Structure 1
Amino acid sequence: MWRSSGRLADGRQIIYFDETPDTGRAKAPDRRPLPPAAPSSQLRRDPLLDDWVVLAAHRQDRTFLPPPDECPLDPTRGDRLTEIPADDYDVVVFENRFPSLATPAVPAPEPPTDPAVEARPGTGRCELVCFTSDHTASFADLTPRRARTVIEAWADRTAELSAMPEVAHVYPFENRGEEIGVTLHHPHGQIYGFPFPPPRIRRMAAAARRHREHTGGNLFDDAVAAERAAGVRVVVETGHWTAIVPAAARWPYEVRLFPRRRVPGLHLLDGDQRDDLAGVYLALLRAFDRLFPAPAPYIAAWHQAPVDAAGTPDPEFGLHLQLFTLRRAAGKLKYLAGSESGMEAWINDISPEDAAHRLRAALGPVPGGGADHTERGAQ
C-alpha cells in the first residue's frame, strides 16, 4: 500500500491509499473555485445526562442525494469536478466539506451569557473514506485486497487522529442505505475524531474498570470467552477473529466482531490480524445481504479505546466492530419508538439465538481463509 497526501482547493487534506506505486494522484490539482473552509461547531453539555451535544448548523446545506452523474465522491473526469481531483483512485480519505467537528478556521464565538448553557468549541476532525471509485459498488463487492487497503486507511487515520490534542476518541463507521439516512450513495464511510469519549464508549470503559476491580479480569476477554463457551450465538470464527450475536442484542440482526488477541485500536492490529479481518468482514457483510430479498441497510461501527491527552489508548478497552441492520423482516424495519428513543430501554423482536442461526445459514466462504461456523451450541 502506498500513501500520498495533497490539499483540496479550500485547504482540506486529501490522502490517497494506492495499491500500486507512483500514481501521482495526490498531485492532481483541485480546479474548483472554492472559498477557504471555515466550519464552526459548538458543543453544549446536557447537565441531566452529563453528555455533550454537537451543534453544527452549517451542515444544513450539505449535499443531499444528488443524481448519479453529480456525485461528489466520484473521480474528477474532464469538466466534471468532484471532491477527488484524481481521475481514478483505489481508496481515498479527505476532510469532510460539511463536518460536524473541525479544527476551527475562524475564531471561536464568544461564550454564551445564557446561564443554562455550558458550551465549548466543537473542535475535532471529520473525514470521508471512499472505498472504491466504482459508484455502483458496495463494500461487500470489494476484493479482499481492496478491503485490506481500507483497513490500512482506517489504521492510518486512527493513529494520526489519536495523536491530535483535540481528539479523545476515533470512530470509523459506515452507514449504508437510505433507511439509515445516507445522503450519498457512493460506497463510503466516515471517521470522526471526537473531542470527548462518546457516551457508548464512556459506558463500556467504565464497565471494564468495574469488571477489573471485581474479578481481576478483562471485561472484553471474559465476555468473548463466555460466548465462545456457549457457542450457540457464535456466527463465525477464524484464526484471528470471533463474530457473535450478543446475548442481549438490541437490534434484530446484530453482530460484534472481536480480534482473538485483544488490542485497543485498529492501528495496533498486526499484519495477520488485518489480513484475516479483510476476509471475515466481507463474509459478514455478504451474509447480511443474503438475509432478505433486498440489500440490508446497515451501520458498521468500530468501537475503539478512548485516548488520553498524549494519545495513549485505554489498555483495558477491547477493539470490536458492531454491525447491525434496521431490517427485522422483509419489508419491515425496526423503528426506535417510545421505549428506545424515549427511555433507551431496548425491546428486540428476534431472539439472538435465532438471529445467529440465520446468519450462519447465510454465511458463505470467508475470503482468504478457513473458518469454523458450525452450530456448536445446537449440538
Structure 2
Amino acid sequence: MTTAAGLSPVTRSTLADGRELIYFDDPGTPRRAPVRDARDLPPRPEPGELRYDALSGEWVAVAAHRQSRTHLPPPDACPLCPSTPSFASELPDPDYNVVVFENRFPSLGPALAELPSALPWGETVPAVGRCEVVSFTPEHHGSFARLPYSRARTVVEAWAHRTAELSALPGIRQVFPFENRGAQIGVTLHHPHGQIYAYPYLTPRGAQLAEAARRHFDATDRTQTLLGSLLDRERSDGARMILEGEHFSAYVPFAARWPIEVHLVPHRHVADFAGLTGEEKDELTDLYLRLLGGVDALYETPTPYIAAWFQAPIDPVLGPPSRFHLQLTSPRRAADKLKYLAGSEAAMGAFINDTRAEDVAASLRDAVSEARQ
C-alpha cells in the first residue's frame, strides 16, 4: 500500500487468474487488507492478433475471444459489484471506493512488446498492450455525474496513477482513459465504469490530432501550441463557452462534429493526467462533475456519451506539442433522436452535424446552471 497526505491510498492485489487489481480509496480511509479471490478461473487467454492494413496504414486488433464477454447482466450477477456470499464477482472485497483491474476479455494484451512500423500482407503479430477496467463506485445504479466530489476526485487520482504506470510499460505509445455511457453507445455493463487502453501504436485519431499539433507548433517556431491557441480564441469569442475556471475551461468547439460535443481543456500546457498539479486535479473534478450534470439536464432522460481523455502520445516528436484534454461527445440530437454514422461519416470520415455549436453551447450553459440549483 502507498499513500501520502491528502492522496488516495493505493492497495495492490491479484485476481485468481493472475490479473492485477488495484484499490484506490478515498483519503482518510483505513488501511485495506484485500480479500483473496477464491474463484476457480480458467487461465488467461492468449492475446488476439494485430493486423496491419496497408491500404490505410492503420493497425487493426482482432479479439475473437471477446465474443464470450459478459453482456448486460442483472444486478445480482454484475462483475463490478462487490462480491457477496451468493455471487463471486471480479471484486473479492465486500466493499470498495474505486478499483482498477486488468480486463478479463482484453482487446490488447496481456503480453507487451515493441511493434514493428508495419507488417507484410498476410502476417500477424500478437495484440500486445494492456486494457484495464475502472469501476467508479460499488453502487450498481447511478452515473459519474452523481458521484460525490470526494469520490470523483479519487477517480481522477486513479486515472493519473494508471497513466503514469502504463506509460512506462514496454512498447506503449498512447494511454487512453475513457467512459462509454449508455446502452445507445453500446455498453455491455450498466455499472458506472470506464476503461483505460494502453496502445502499442498511435491510434488514427490520436495521430491526426498530434500531427496537427506538431505542424502548428513548428509553424510558430515552437512558441504556441495548437490547443492553447484554439482555447484562447474560444475564450475571447465567448459564444461557445460553457465553463471557465482558474485552471480549465469547457466549450463547444467551433467546428463540432457531433450533436453534443464539449472540450474541457487545461489553461496550462500539460501532457496528461499524471502531469496535473493537485489544484488542477481539484478543479478538473469540480468542472467535470458540473459539465456531466449539465449534459444530463438537457433532456428528461440520461444522455448517452463517450468521455474521451486525450493524452499526449509517448513520442519524442509528437508528444511535446500535444495538450491533454477531454472530448465529450454524444450522438443525441434531440430528446427522441440519435445521429447515426452512415455513408458520409462512417465511410468517408466527413462529418455533417445536425446542430450549431453556438446553439448547443447556449443550451448547455443553461443546463449546467439549472443542474447546480
TM range (shorter): over 0.9
- Matched to 1:184, the amino acid is L
Q: Residue 259 of structure 1 is aligned with which of 258, 263, 266?
A: 266
CA–CA separation in structure 1 for the residues paired with 2:229 and 2:341: 30
Which residue does the alignment assign to 1:156?
Answer: 161
Verify: 1:24 aligned to 2:32, yes or no.
yes
Deviation at 1:120, TM superposition (A): 2.1
- In the superposition, the TM-score normalised over structure 1's length comes to 0.91
Q: Residue 361 of structure 1 is aligned with which of 340, 358, 366?
A: 366
- Matched to 1:212, the amino acid is F
- In the superposition, the TM-score normalised over structure 2's length comes to 0.92
Cα 1:23–1:316 shift into 2, 3 Å = same
Which residue does the alignment assign to 1:324?
Answer: 329
Which residue does the alignment assign to 2:72?
Answer: 65
Which residue does the alignment assign to 2:4?
Answer: none
1:33-92 deviation per Cα after TM superposition (whole angstroms, max 9, x unaligned): 002213311111111211111000100000001111110100012231000000000000
Q: Residue 103 of structure 2 is aligned with which of 96, 102, 108?
A: 96
CA–CA separation in structure 2 for the residues paired with 1:200 and 1:115: 23
Confirm or deny: 8 A CA contact 1:39 1:98 kept in the other structure: no
Which residue does the alignment assign to 1:372?
Answer: none
CA RMSD in angstroms, aligned pairs only:
1.9
- Matched to 1:161, the amino acid is L
Confirm or deny: 8 A CA contact 2:176 2:198 kept in the other structure: yes
- Matched to 2:99, the amino acid is V
Confirm or deny: 8 A CA contact 1:100 1:126 kept in the other structure: yes
Which residue does the alignment assign to 2:247?
Answer: 240
Confirm or deny: 8 A CA contact 1:264 1:313 kept in the other structure: no
Confirm or deny: 8 A CA contact 2:216 2:226 kept in the other structure: yes
How many residue pairs get aligned? The number is 358
CA–CA separation in structure 2 for the residues paired with 1:366 and 1:218: 33
CA–CA separation in structure 1 for the residues paired with 2:371 and 2:57: 42
% identity of equivalent residues: 52
Which residue does the alignment assign to 1:74?
Answer: 81
Q: Residue 48 of structure 2 is aligned with which of 41, 44, 56?
A: 41
Structure 1: runs of 5+ lacking an equivalent = 108-113, 368-379
Which residue does the alignment assign to 1:110?
Answer: none
Confirm or deny: 8 A CA contact 1:283 1:365 kept in the other structure: no
CA–CA separation in structure 1 for the residues paired with 2:336 and 2:163: 37
CA–CA separation in structure 1 for the residues paired with 2:120 and 2:244: 54
Q: Which stretch of structure 1 is more off in the superposition, 275-284 or 114-123?
A: 114-123
Which residue does the alignment assign to 2:14?
Answer: 7
- Matched to 1:7, the amino acid is T
Cα 1:10–1:341 shift into 2, 3 Å = same
Which residue does the alignment assign to 2:257?
Answer: 250
Confirm or deny: 8 A CA contact 1:280 1:366 kept in the other structure: no
Structure 2: runs of 5+ lacking an equivalent = 1-7, 114-118
Deviation at 1:215, TM superposition (A): 2.5
- Matched to 2:146, the amino acid is D
Verify: 1:333 aligned to 2:338, yes or no.
yes
CA–CA separation in structure 2 for the residues paired with 1:124 and 1:200: 18
Which residue does the alignment assign to 1:305?
Answer: 312
1:208-266 deviation per Cα after TM superposition (whole angstroms, max 9, x unaligned): 11112223321111111111111101111011111010111000110000011120100
Cα 1:232–1:118 shift into 2, 3 Å = farther
1:341-370 deviation per Cα after TM superposition (whole angstroms, max 9, x unaligned): 011100001000101010001013898xxx
**Structural mapping, 1:184-203, within 5 Å:** 184-203=189-208
CA–CA separation in structure 1 for the residues paired with 2:171 and 2:20: 17
Confirm or deny: 8 A CA contact 1:253 1:355 kept in the other structure: yes
